[in-house]
């Protein structure tokens, strides 16, 4: 049968679930295996929140400056290309 996981003698190389856990090195600390994805989830969500908050704060600052954000950034020394503007200031 093409694509089969059986060896040439017809036997499957992995007989039970314990062997599968051993092959993928998952037979160790189950708590740590569950904790690692949870930590990643919290870190990524916190990072996304901080990026969104920084972006929201920048927009609020833009509105407080009267909507002329490019003038403020020019004063800060940033190079800005305006919308539809092909030149670099």
pLDDT in tens, 28-66: 888 888 899 999 999 999 999 998 988 888 766 666 666
- The three-point CA angle 21-25-26 to 5° equals 55
DSSP state letter for 84: T
d(CA 52, CA 58): 10
Contact 5, 12 (CB under 8 A): yes
Which of these ranges, 12-16, 20-24, 53-57, 83-87, has the smallest mean pLDDT?
83-87
Q: Which pLDDT score, from 0 to 100, does residue 13 have?
A: 80
Q: Is the pLDDT of residue 79 over 70?
A: no
pTM for the complete prediction? 0.46
Q: Which pLDDT score, from 0 to 100, does residue 37 have?
A: 93
pLDDT greater at residue 24 or residue 85:
24
Q: Which pLDDT score, from 0 to 100, does residue 26 have?
A: 82
Q: Which pLDDT score, from 0 to 100, does residue 1 have?
A: 37
């Amino acid at each position: 049968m093409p694509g089969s996981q059986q060896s040439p003698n017809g036997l499957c190389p992995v007989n039970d679930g314990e062997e599968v856990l051993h092959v993928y090195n998952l037979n160790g600390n189950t708590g740590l295996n569950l904790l690692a994805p949870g930590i990643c989830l919290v870190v990524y969500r916190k990072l996304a929140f901080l990026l969104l908050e920084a972006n929201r704060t920048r927009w609020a600052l833009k509105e407080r400056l009267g909507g002329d954000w490019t003038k403020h950034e020019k004063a800060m020394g940033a190079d800005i290309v305006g919308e539809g503007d092909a030149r670099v200031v």
